[in-house]
Amino acid sequence: QVQLVESGGGLVQAGGSLRLSCLASGKIAGNNNMAWYRQAPGRQRELVASITNFGMQEYADVVKGRFTVSRDNSKNAMFLQMTGLKPEDTATYYCKMTNWGVAGKIYWGQGTQVTVSS
């Protein structure tokens, strides 16, 4: 079992910055992929950024150049540095881990709210 806890959300003005954190605990496989998703009211959950266990990153087009995903495996942590925030970024942000073994298991955090005012 893996537990994921997000933190760092809050209320910021457009153009501001936030740094989200996801701390993982439990039976974490050495081979795992992590990702940030977000979901706004009335919208489906969408992939924001992903990162492999060795640091390879991918981003949704709408956040490229503004968001940076990173991880610290010694702390079982993943981060999302968000700059140039826009009101359209307002959403609940969720941490996801694909924990590989014989078959990968998927884990989700409870989310952290990001609100960007215009």
Per-residue pLDDT of the chain (118 residues; tens, 9 = 90+): 899 999 999 999 999 999 999 999 999 988 999 999 999 999 999 999 999 999 999 999 999 999 999 999 999 999 999 999 999 999 999 999 999 876 789 999 999 999 999 9
pLDDT on residue 96: 98
The amino acid at 47: L
List the structure tokens of 49: 């950024």
Computed on alpha carbons and rounded to an integer, the radius of gyration of the chain in Å comes to 14
Rounded to whole angstroms, the Cα distance separating 25 from 35 reads 16
Helix or strand or coil: residue 75?
helix
pLDDT on residue 102: 62
pLDDT on residue 101: 73
How far does the chain reach from its first CA to its final CA, in angstroms?
Answer: 40
Rounded to whole angstroms, the Cα distance separating 1 from 10 reads 28
